[in-house]
Structure 1
Amino acid sequence: MADLKYYDIILKPVITEKSMDAMGERKYTFLVHPQANKIQIKEAIEKMFEGAKVQRVNTLNKDGKVKRRGSTLGKTAKTKKAIVQLTEDSKDIEFFEGM
């Protein structure tokens, strides 16, 4: 797990109505690598976005759904979401500015 780089940890931002409302409270939601822990997520955010200082990281694990295609059963991939709370003196994440 130590061989993950910061650009491997943060997969993509989550753009939903709920996550866009949370940006007013300086909370940003990202889809992250399922094996990443909170410390790695915090370091990745601070390296990727210059001037961002992370106060808290909350994570949610989501199991894959069972899907059926004809008579065969399978599961979708597991996912992990991270909700990152920035400090008051931190710069905003510019990625979300135009949304």
Structure 2
Amino acid sequence: MARRSWASFALLGALIGCLAALFIGKALQVAQIGAPLLPLDDAYIHFQYARALVEGHPFRYNADQPPTSGATSLLYPFILALGYRLGFTGEWLGLWA
């Protein structure tokens, strides 16, 4: 029983350590450049489709344009829209992504 307890404690410690490292890394990135950045422009395209979806214009890059299939994934903008609805807007949506 003591061995199992120790293994659970070690696993929990490793998980907390990984989460702390991710948080510190993201905080340092934001402190250095002012906002979180994503490596590919596809993420920003999906962000735009998610914002349009929340605003009631699904599958439109801009509200005044016809619907398009510009997103490479049809499900991802819907997942991002949930984050947008929860308050992750602009580049901060990358934290939800």
TM class by smaller structure: under 0.3
Larger radius of gyration: 2
TM-score by length of 1: 0.25
In terms of fraction of residues, the more helix-rich structure is 2
Ranked by relative contact order (alpha carbons within 8 Å, sequence separation 6 or more), the top structure is 1
TM-score, length of structure 2 as denominator length = 0.25
